[in-house]
Amino acid sequence: MEFNSMDGDIEIAAKIIKDGGLVAFPTETVYGLGADAFNIKALARIFEVKNRPFFDPLIIHIADYDSVYKIVDYDSLNMASREKLEKLIAKFWPGPLSLVLPKRRELPDLATAGLPCAAIRFPSHDIAQKLIRFSTGAIAAPSANPFGFLSPTRAEHVKAQLGDKVDFILDAGRTSIGVESTVMDLSSSIPCILRPGGISREAIEELIGKVEENPYVGNLQTGSPHGDETLSLSPSPPISPGLLKNHYAPKTPLVLCSRESMPKNNHNDNEGFLYFSALPDGIKRGKGVMILSEKGDLNEAAANLFDMLHELDNLGLNIIFAEKVPDIGLGRAINDRLNRAGGSK
Ligand code: TXA
Ligand code: MG
């Protein structure tokens, strides 16, 4: 393991985790709000600080392969699931893929919101790995934002949104991937993508064959599992609460548009624009006009997504118009977040 000037901070942060505190830390996707996965009081504080409903399970972050067996009830998996798990881990870990698998009894129920399965991921970010290794080996961490709001891709976003409710923030600049991990259920016979994210469905299917996609993914205009309901009205826990319609939302109302249905000009200073690549005629460059990727690269667009949404959200605009991106690869995750950012406003 290489050591660098942040190691002092990581050691302080690791001690805080060991003592039951909360640390915001960078991963390759977004910043997480971490606590010892086996400390019930610390887990409860995550829910409190994020204002997160107790039906929404947390992802368990590990930094070595053997830790899988401390979290997952491996013996209960059939051969087919084991084979898929091994292939996925070999190819995509460390990286932005969270796998939902039967949990061991020792993992507190609070970590999985009472569900029999846990989502587990091995992040590739060097600092995340060191924090996990120097502390307890298993850190439960949702994205470090208040529930339902934009995920943080910079330490500044965490400071602005959660401030001193967090015991320590490890600042390593902007995250590289910019959208959250793909959440994939491997607990039943047919693997299913519950949330599109940093690893594309195409890449997963190339490795393990056809996978299902949660029927509500990509179909959010017409309704999520629970329609437009607010959380307090939720009749039953959604299968993966990151799929709630009004999620990943800026404070400013956002409308997702096809290229053709975007406004034809930007004469109105109160309107913001988030374009995928080239600007059409009639739209002039300016403060409220952002382009996810000048060269039309979906990876670059994903990396810029939350960053630009945070920036637009801070301009005090009345509305943000966002252009839909091509629905392939990481584009699915981008459209998914934009769709939800529009929510039911
Ligand atoms: O990239 C990421 O995944 C980031 C970084 C910090 O690792 N984390 C993140 O966590 O996005 P969070 O809590 O904001 O989103 C986790 C998603 C939620 O939609 C949650 O419902 C789902 O994963 N999830 C977690 N555990 C689950 C489980 N046991 N079964 C089904 N869905 C689960
Ligand atoms: Mg989140």
Domain boundaries, the chain: 7-213, 254-341
User: Which pTM does this prediction carry?
Assistant: 0.90
User: What pLDDT shows up at residue 248?
Assistant: 78
Which SS3 state, helix, strand or coil, does residue 55 take? coil
H helical segments located in the chain: 7-18, 40-50, 68-71, 79-92, 126-134, 155-162, 201-208, 298-313, 330-342
* CA 308–ligand 2 middle distance (angstroms): 17
User: What pLDDT shows up at residue 241?
Assistant: 55
Candidate of 25, 98, 306 to mutate for ligand 1, largest count of ligand atoms within 8 Å of Cβ? 98
Give the Cα separation of 146 and 258 in Å (integer). Answer: 29
Do 275 and 292 form a contact (C-beta atoms < 8 A)? yes
* CA 271–ligand 1 middle distance (angstroms): 32
Give the Cα separation of 170 and 192 in Å (integer). Answer: 33
Which atom, in ligand 1's list, is nearest to the CA of 118? 29
What dotted CATH number matches 7-213?
A: 3.90.870.10
Cβ < 5 A residues, ion ligand 2: 143
Count each helix (H run) and each strand (E run) in the chain, helices first: 9, 14
* CA 71–ligand 2 middle distance (angstroms): 21
Superfamily, domain 254-341: Threonylcarbamoyl-AMP synthase, C-terminal domain (3.40.50.11030)
- CA-wise closest residue to 303 among 124, 126, 153: 153
With a cut of 50, which residues of the chain have pLDDT below it? 218-238, 344-345
Which atom, in ligand 1's list, is nearest to the CA of 52? 13
User: What pLDDT shows up at residue 342?
Assistant: 86
- CA-wise closest residue to 14 among 160, 179, 134, 193: 134
Looking at the CA of 248, which ligand is closest? 2
Query: At 99, phi and psi to the nearest 5?
Result: -110, 130
